[in-house]
Amino acid sequence: MFEIRIGVIGYVSVGKTTVINALFGEEFGEVAMKRTTAVVNSFRISSPEDAMATMKVEDQDSSDESVTLVSKKLSASVTLKETSTDNASFRNSNDVKEKTFDIELEESLHKMRPDTKLVIVDVPGINEAGTSSKYKDFVNSNWHTFDIVVLVMDARQGVNTEEQLDLLKLVKDNLTSSKDVPVIILANKVDDPFDREQKALLDEAREAIANLFGVGDRERALQLLLNPLETKKGQAKRLKQDQTDLFPVVIPISAMHAFVYRCGSRLSFDEFIKMDKDFIEKIGKHSYGWQWHQFGEEGQLQKAFKAVSETDLRKGGMIASNFEAFVKVLQCCIGDKQQQTLHIEHQVKVALERMKQASPGSDLGTELITAYTKLEAIGRPVSHLPKAFWASFDRLKNEAFNDFKTNNSPASFTQPIGQLCNYHRALQALQWPNEMEKVAKNAKALAVECAVLVIESDKFSQLSESDQSLIVGSMLLSSSETAFNLHFGFLRLYLESKRPYASGRVCTHRPSGRECYFQQCNGRLSTCPSSYGNGVELCGSCSRYWIMIDFKHANENCPYCLIRGSGNWPLSAAKKDGVGLHSVRCNSGCTRTFVFFPPTFRDVKMKAEGGQLVPVDENVYKKAVTVDVPDSPEDPNHFGHVLWKCCQLLQKAEA
């Protein structure tokens, strides 16, 4: 089931929910002469003659905890009760709460494709006090999901203030940067269309809007939309492609009058008098003028009910509200089956464009399935979809590699490998066999590229032997997997060769008798007399001295010349030599260089605590290990995560 979505936006208390209720002919959302809406309510519309079953909750993406889906068709009264409760509950929430209702109207709002639902999205006022910019941000981030936008403004305020102009600029910017859609600007609260001051404000608003959007006469645009596109049956024809410059169209209305006349006519007297008293007061004054105050409280209720229930009075009120003009233009925007098909095609086009800038957390596989399903349903080609995925994947991979070079975190690789897994899952539904082979090929390439990027980085060469060993060991955790040895055999040999302790020339066991650290020497070390300093060893073959000290370089005599030097500090700051050994130089008479060894992971004593391995001495551990070592390669911060994911993916691809 597809959707054509109409976003209703505007500032606080301009009548957005009133417009929606008037459109439905029933009160589904809470309305009053004050701010009410605090939840983004989406109303998915059905009518009694609809043959299609309402979409089930599981057909929708409900992974976002802030989004609630109501799958059963609800009446106006039940929906109103729920929206009113939500408004009270989430008024002061810091998060944007979204809720989707399946509602059933007594009369169809517009004839839709059999596979398409019309959805009206009621967005709370984007300048709501105390909400920072959360609703404005919501509009900006969700603009691409709208196929039509209805902007409701208070006509009494005009568009001369900075706040009103900012709202119009928000619309213009999104039309340019996000998605170009028909925009209907409702100049609401025109309760007296013959008021001269009100007419002057409307003329100024039309001119300002025309100038801002670079379009022509807005009154003329409205007339072109209302008249030539009308069929004998009163339904709007499909918009022609060359008529999109008619938007944004400006329509003056009184949503309050339309709401009361359309809704009130369906109510009993007892139901009618439960409506907002301010609404009843305004209807009475509009219908009876100065006589209204002569009727008394009970008489006023009777007279107001008569105004909305008697045919002639109701028709007069509806004409004055100009709401039918809005309904006709909206139907024109929704269009017939062919126009609705164009809406769906435009949705796919925008989705594929957005894939090029996919954000973290997006699922390109699901987006491709959605695009494929829509294009298949409307009879459009789908052969270009794989190309769209690989273009997005290549961009994400390059971004991930650049990000790793900056922060040296394996979590940088999460996006590309995650999207490959998403695409593989999607291919199981799409049945593109050649793409399966391409996924496997790219998974193997990604694993190798990530491993080389980590091991050959300058950052890796500067790490201690313990850190290097832990990183390489993390990558080799999946080496017992069949897929690892089948696809990454040479990579395994490469990684094992990079283990710092693999060659034996940097052995750090305390006992004497270990190999000399000098590459060209095969001799063994022996402990020197204590007069040479703590931890000094001598090679019997090359006669080199080696000293074992900690990172703080405690005051040590030079093990060769025995001179403490100036300031009791003969040894220079530690640095790595050409073969990766930590070395210090005597700054006194002999100027010799010596190797020393910091604490290693082997020196760290561990204990079991709460089912976890923890160091006995945290300070020693921090000196020996600086890299993060999660328990499981499932953790994106694990250096073996990409290889583990690739093995999982390859096993599934070959199953």
Q: What is the pLDDT, as a whole number, of residue 642? A: 94
Q: What is the pLDDT, as a whole number, of residue 405? A: 93
Calpha distance 524→185 (Å, rounded): 88
User: Mind listing the pLDDT tens digit for each residue in 28-40?
Assistant: 555 444 445 578 8
Q: Which long-range contacts (CB under 8 A, 24 or more apart) does 489-498 make?
A: 491/447, 491/448, 491/451, 494/451, 494/455, 495/451, 495/455, 496/472, 498/455, 498/468, 498/472
Calpha distance 512→526 (Å, rounded): 5
232 falls in which pLDDT band (50, 70, 90)? Answer: very low
Nearest to 366 by CA among 390, 397, 389, 343: 389
Q: What is the pLDDT, as a whole number, of residue 348? A: 94
pTM > 0.85: no
Q: What is the pLDDT, as a whole number, of residue 7? A: 96
Give the number of C-alpha atoms closer than 13 A to the C-alpha of residue 302, restricted to the C-beta side.
6
283 falls in which pLDDT band (50, 70, 90)? Answer: confident
Calpha distance 441→206 (Å, rounded): 58
What are the chain's domains? 2-258+320-336 (3.40.50.300), 259-319 (no CATH), 356-497 (no CATH), 525-595 (no CATH), 600-626 (no CATH)
Q: What are phi and psi of 82, to 5 degrees?
A: -70, -40
End-to-end CA distance of the chain: 32
Calpha distance 427→436 (Å, rounded): 7
Strand order in the sheet with 148-154: 67-74, 98-104, 40-46, 116-122, 2-10, 148-154, 183-188, 249-252
pLDDT of 422 higher than 70: yes
Q: What are phi and psi of 150, to 5 degrees?
A: -110, 115
447 falls in which pLDDT band (50, 70, 90)? Answer: very high
pLDDT of 423 higher than 90: yes
Helix (H, G, I), strand (E, B) or coil at 527: strand
Phi-psi region of 565 (alpha: psi -120 to 50; beta: other; left: phi over 0): left
pLDDT of 647 higher than 90: yes
